[in-house]
Amino acid sequence: MPATDRVRLAELMATLSMATEAGTTGAVAELGLRTAIFAAHLAREVGADAHDSFYLSLLQYVGCTGDSDVAAAVMGDEVAFGGTHKGIDFGDPMVALPALLGYARRGKSIGAQIGAVVSTLLALPKMAGMTRTHCEVARSLAERLAVGERVQRGLTQVFERWNGKGMPNGLRG
């Protein structure tokens, strides 16, 4: 097969990234690809590995489909939720919980709002494992695509925070 007829790994991953965005978050079109390109340029500027930065950024949300059933059960339309809640710091419960509960109540009668809040609160323990699922699915895919150990490890840490309050393992630094 001529080289021009082959699909490059980056093209396959970009397609997976765009499909994930369309199916889970209501994100801006090609946000993952744009982020990956920016990350690669930034990595070059600071002397980091541009290749790893590109793939890590491109695949960071590809695992979000791993528990869409849980997200749909809690939020209803998780695509609409993702589209209206960009920029919410889900690592901070004091910010995330009001956003989630506000969304659950939106457009409902008072009685239905109470039911939605109770339902959402009861589902929170299931949601706690969602980040771990996202990371494991993304890491597993990266392993199958042989993108390298650093990218695979990075995908298990994309939701961690410098102060140890991230997920799924509370890593610091």
The contacts of residue 67 (CB under 8 Å, 6+ apart) are: 129, 130, 133, 134
In angstroms, rounded to a whole number, what is the distance separating the alpha carbons of residues 77 and 144?
Answer: 30
* Residues 74, 120 contacting (CB under 8 angstroms): yes
pLDDT in tens, 56-97: 998 988 887 777 777 777 767 776 776 666 667 666 777 777
- Statement: residue 28 has pLDDT above 70: no
Q: Is the pTM value of this prediction over 0.85? A: no
Rounded CA separation 96/104 (Å): 12
Tokens linked to 19: 């499909």
